[in-house]
């Protein structure tokens, strides 16, 4: 029997820099959907990749002193590494510098030109370099790019244009006939009200002011606009060719789902469908424009200094914990948020306490009371029936939510079931049953019911946390698929191995703070095409208040190997507390009585429970060597000028 096909793609990552955790949500969400569809019996093809052309990449390569191809080779490899660190199961990673893709894009452009859907004219307007996007003045927001909020530049050059206006009514009709084409609903309304109803201007689809792109085959002064190039990957990657497409293309197209960020919905639901209409090809069945991952209240960016990298998070806490956080904290239509504090709290509450504890103590009790083997018993009590009913209801709810791509709600349903299992332990009290030989069969039934629930949990968690799902199955000694309660006759479990070790929040946050300081210092020290730090004015320097202070007390900070707590007399009459990462280089007694220089107007920060009011000046004296700058011949309270 042939399986029903399911072709899913992500937006291909732009190869200007290493992707951060917000970029990684795309691939994690798509991977969850792909794994779920495979689990449900679909023939899944899952494609992702890297978008490697454009002016921004040409500029980045020039700044680094390498060719654009060398630059994108490095960044594309980084993207793959990040995706792989998150345990993603893509079938293909396409690069827009792949020869077959570039040739197919040239044919697509030529076909559209030959049939009159592309024409040559001159572009005059506003251009956003980071987004590689043109805008009319009315589309700008406060004079800036409506997508990223950055400054735009005036642009005037000869260019080729795609006749969007020709297909406007046809696209609007398609939206009306296919109400589920765009999700969530708010994204569709935005496209209709902001772009289609006001009227589509024809789209500039070539550039002549830079060279890093796919050349227009019949006019080599032009390169093909990045969005035609990038969007076409969804069909070129499975064998589309205007001269005759592959069997693979015929099998998998149209795509069942494009998974993209909300900031590029316009390109995927207006430009891309019109390109396909002009080519005479079917449109994708659905475009899912997911929300953003914010750090606190802000969008992630290097300029804000708030970037969190998914691979670094996975290396520290495990890929499944990163996947779990993203999939459980991102609502269907609203932006989600991540902070280290929130991540650690959710890790401890959901993964260590609820799920990990459930599995660990169930396996341990099965080994302790029955030598590791229990058999199916009768559902003899209200607690048993309630647990079995919860398993059935959870599976039904989960399938509906996963089919609707409501990942956060689906994850919540699974975790609610895990909590119900923990409640079942409290209700049945296996430890009390174990004390009475007459209750041994009842104890067997209780532990079987728990193991059967855990098996179902492992299957529900497979698309969300594949490594943890596999670990649970290994510990229960059972890999039976499906969600039916009572499907397994008996269990012989393995050794109880903790899934998630509880995190010491204060210690971890302190380590992260120190690592961030070290990275910042290393970045400032590294000579990466920069001779020195940018110059500052005397007014800027005057904002930094440097004061001498005598160390009156010093002690280690509990659970922080690198931190010392210093109590300082800075001449103000009020003791000042500073936490400093110098514990590896100085003993407390070596500092007491010494005079140091402190940045006294630094904003307070809490490190390992200690409020630090300032920073001690110290010098990097070589590898693994830090020297505090002492001023012992000067009394406390002197201003350093």
pLDDT at 405: 97
Of 343 and 572, the one with more pLDDT = 343
* pLDDT tens-digit series, residues 353-365: 999 999 999 999 9
Burial group, residue 358, by CB count within 10 angstroms (0-12, 13-18, 19+): buried
The rounded distance, in Å, linking the Cα atoms of 271 and 167 is: 10
pLDDT at 305: 58
Q: Are 112 and 231 in contact (CB under 8 A)?
A: no
Checking if the pLDDT of 179 tops 60, the result is yes
Residue 474: partners with Cβ closer than 8 Å, 6 or more residues away: 494
Backbone dihedral angles phi then psi of residue 193, each to the nearest 5 degrees: -75, -35
Nearest to 235 by CA among 289, 290, 272: 272
Nearest to 563 by CA among 503, 592, 606: 606
Other residues' Cβ atoms within 10 Å of the Cβ of residue 619: 10
> Which run of H or E residues covers position 120?
strand 118-128
Nearest to 460 by CA among 394, 390, 376, 387: 394
pLDDT at 532: 40
Look at 142-146, 288-292, 432-436, 537-541 and tell me which has the smallest mean pLDDT. Answer: 537-541
* pLDDT tens-digit series, residues 192-222: 999 998 999 999 999 998 899 999 999 999 9
Q: Are 137 and 256 in contact (CB under 8 A)?
A: no
SS3 20: coil
Burial group, residue 452, by CB count within 10 angstroms (0-12, 13-18, 19+): buried
Other residues' Cβ atoms within 10 Å of the Cβ of residue 325: 25
Checking if the pLDDT of 46 tops 70, the result is yes
Which of 120-134, 135-149, 382-396, 611-625 has maximum average pLDDT? 382-396
User: Which of the four pLDDT bands, split at 50, 70 and 90, describes residue 611?
Assistant: confident
The rounded distance, in Å, linking the Cα atoms of 252 and 249 is: 5
pLDDT at 537: 61
Q: Give the total residue count for the chain.
A: 641
Of 311 and 334, the one with more pLDDT = 311
pLDDT at 603: 81
pLDDT at 301: 57
End-to-end CA distance of the chain: 82
pLDDT at 531: 37
pLDDT at 530: 40
* pLDDT tens-digit series, residues 579-605: 988 888 888 888 998 999 999 888 888
User: Which of the four pLDDT bands, split at 50, 70 and 90, describes residue 422?
Assistant: very high
Structure token digits, residue 379: 């559902």
Residues 393-397: what's their mean pLDDT?
Answer: 98
pLDDT at 524: 67
Instruction: Report the share of the chain in percent with pLDDT over 90.
Output: 71
SS3 344: helix
The rounded distance, in Å, linking the Cα atoms of 518 and 27 is: 30
Q: Are 33 and 4 in contact (CB under 8 A)?
A: no
* pLDDT tens-digit series, residues 517-566: 887 777 666 544 443 445 566 666 767 889 999 999 999 887 677 788 99
Structure token digits, residue 474: 């290994």
Nearest to 97 by CA among 119, 116, 77, 124: 77
Look at 257-271, 369-383, 516-530 and tell me which has the smallest mean pLDDT. Answer: 516-530
* pLDDT tens-digit series, residues 218-243: 999 999 988 799 999 999 999 999 99
Q: Which residue(s) pair with 124 in the sheet? A: 156
Where in 263-333 does DSSP place strands (E)?
287-290, 293-295, 298-299
Structure token digits, residue 268: 């995927």
Which value, in Å, is the radius of gyration of the alpha carbons in the chain? 30
- What are the respective helix, strand and coil percentages of the chain, to the nearest 5? 45, 20, 35
Q: Taking the model in full, what pTM does it have? A: 0.79
Q: Looking at beta carbons, which pairs linking 358-362 to residues 24 or more positions away fall under 8 Å?
A: 358/418, 358/421, 358/422, 358/425, 358/450, 358/454, 359/454, 359/472, 359/475, 359/496, 359/499, 360/496, 360/497, 360/498, 360/499, 361/425, 361/496, 362/425, 362/447, 362/450, 362/451, 362/454
What is residue 141's DSSP assignment?
A: B
Look at 30-44, 325-339, 445-459, 534-548 and tell me which has the smallest mean pLDDT. Answer: 534-548
Q: Which residue(s) pair with 566 in the sheet? A: 554, 578
The rounded distance, in Å, linking the Cα atoms of 302 and 287 is: 29
* pLDDT tens-digit series, residues 294-319: 886 666 555 555 789 999 999 999 99
- Residue 5, sorted as left (phi over 0), alpha (psi -120 to 50) or beta, turns out to be beta
Where in 539-634 does DSSP place strands (E)?
546-557, 560-569, 576-580, 595-599, 605-607, 610-612, 615-616, 618-622, 625-628
pLDDT at 559: 64
Checking if the pLDDT of 18 tops 80, the result is yes
> Which run of H or E residues covers position 425?
helix 407-428
Q: Looking at beta carbons, which pairs linking 63-70 to residues 24 or more positions away fall under 8 Å?
A: 63/529, 64/529, 65/529, 68/212, 69/97
Q: Are 313 and 322 in contact (CB under 8 A)?
A: yes
pLDDT at 533: 45
Q: Are 53 and 341 in contact (CB under 8 A)?
A: no
Structure token digits, residue 551: 């160390």
Backbone dihedral angles phi then psi of residue 52, each to the nearest 5 degrees: -125, 10
pLDDT at 298: 60
Whole-number average pLDDT of the chain: 91
Checking if the pLDDT of 257 tops 50, the result is yes
Going 511 to 514 to 518 to 519, the CA torsion angle's sign is positive
pLDDT at 379: 79
Q: What is the DSSP string of 478-507?
A: ----S--TT--SEEE------SSPPP-HHH
The rounded distance, in Å, linking the Cα atoms of 269 and 181 is: 9
Q: What is the DSSP string of 191-218?
A: HIIIIITT-PPPEE-EESS---SPEETT
The rounded distance, in Å, linking the Cα atoms of 514 and 438 is: 58
Which of 10-24, 177-191, 331-345, 355-369 has maximum average pLDDT? 355-369
Residue 629: partners with Cβ closer than 8 Å, 6 or more residues away: 596, 597, 617, 618, 619
């Amino acid at each position: 029997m042939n399986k029903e096909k399911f072709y899913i793609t992500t937006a291909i990552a732009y190869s200007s820099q290493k992707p951060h955790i917000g970029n990684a949500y795309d691939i994690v969400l798509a991977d969850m959907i792909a794994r779920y569809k495979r689990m449900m019996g679909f023939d899944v093809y899952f494609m992702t990749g890297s978008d490697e052309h454009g002016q921004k990449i040409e500029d980045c390569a020039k700044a680094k002193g390498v060719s654009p191809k060398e630059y994108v080779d490095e960044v594309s490899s980084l993207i793959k590494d990040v995706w792989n660190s998150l345990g993603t199961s893509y079938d293909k990673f396409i690069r827009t510098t792949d020869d077959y893709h570039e040739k197919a894009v040239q044919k697509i452009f030529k076909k559209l030109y030959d049939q009159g859907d592309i024409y040559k004219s001159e572009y005059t307007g506003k251009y956003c370099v980071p987004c590689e996007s043109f805008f009319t003045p009315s589309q700008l927001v406060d004079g800036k790019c409506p997508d990223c909020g950055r400054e735009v530049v005036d642009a005037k050059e000869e260019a080729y244009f795609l006749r969007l206006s020709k297909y406007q009514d046809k696209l609007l009709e398609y939206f009306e006939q296919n109400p589920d084409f765009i999700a969530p609903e708010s994204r569709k309304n935005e496209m209709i009200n902001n772009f289609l109803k006001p009227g589509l201007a024809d789209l500039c689809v070539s550039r002549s002011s830079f060279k890093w792109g796919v050349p227009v085959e019949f006019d080599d002064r032009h390169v093909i606009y990045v969005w035609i190039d990038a969007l076409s990957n969804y069909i070129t990657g499975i064998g589309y060719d205007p001269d005759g497409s592959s069997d693979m293309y015929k099998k998998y197209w149209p795509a069942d789902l494009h998974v993209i960020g909300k900031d590029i919905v316009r390109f995927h639901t207006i430009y891309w469908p019109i390109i396909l209409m002009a080519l005479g090809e079917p449109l994708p069945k659905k475009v899912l424009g997911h929300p953003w991952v914010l750090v606190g209240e802000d969008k992630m960016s290097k300029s804000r200094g708030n970037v969190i990298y998914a691979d670094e998070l996975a290396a520290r806490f495990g890929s499944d914990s990163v996947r779990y956080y993203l999939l459980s904290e991102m609502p269907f239509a609203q932006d989600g948020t991540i902070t280290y504090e929130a991540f650690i709290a959710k890790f401890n509450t959901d993964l260590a306490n609820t799920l990990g504890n459930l599995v660990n103590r169930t396996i341990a009790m099965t080994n302790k009371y029955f030598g590791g083997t229990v058999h199916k018993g009768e559902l003899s009590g209200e607690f048993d029936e309630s647990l079995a009913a919860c398993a059935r209801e959870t599976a039904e709810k989960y399938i509906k939510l996963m089919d609707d791509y409501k990942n956060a709600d689906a994850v919540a349903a699974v975790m609610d079931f895990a909590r119900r299992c923990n409640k079942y332990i409290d209700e049945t009290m296996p430890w009390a049953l174990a004390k009475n030989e007459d209750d041994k069969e009842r104890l067997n039934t209780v532990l079987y019911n728990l193991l059967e629930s855990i098996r179902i949990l492992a299957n529900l968690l497979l698309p969300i946390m594949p490594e943890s799902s596999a670990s649970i199955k290994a510990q229960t000694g059972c890999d039976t698929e499906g969600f039916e309660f009572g499907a397994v006759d008996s269990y012989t479990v393995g050794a109880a191995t903790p899934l998630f070790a509880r995190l010491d929040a204060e210690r971890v946050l302190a380590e992260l703070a120190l690592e961030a300081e070290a990275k910042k210092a290393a970045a400032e020290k590294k000579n990466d095409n920069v001779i020195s730090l940018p110059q500052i004015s005397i007014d800027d320097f005057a904002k930094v208040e440097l004061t001498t202070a005598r160390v009156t007390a010093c002690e280690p900070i509990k659970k922080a190997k690198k931190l010392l707590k210093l109590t300082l007399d800075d001449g103000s009459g009020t003791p000042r507390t500073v936490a400093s990462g110098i514990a590896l280089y100085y003993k407390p007694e070596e500092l007491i009585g010494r005079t140091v220089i402190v940045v006294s107007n630094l904003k307070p920060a809490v490190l390992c429970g200690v409020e630090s009011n300032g920073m001690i000046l110290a010098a990097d004296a070589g590898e693994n060597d830090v020297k505090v700058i002492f001023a012992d011949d000067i009394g406390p309270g002197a201003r350093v000028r």
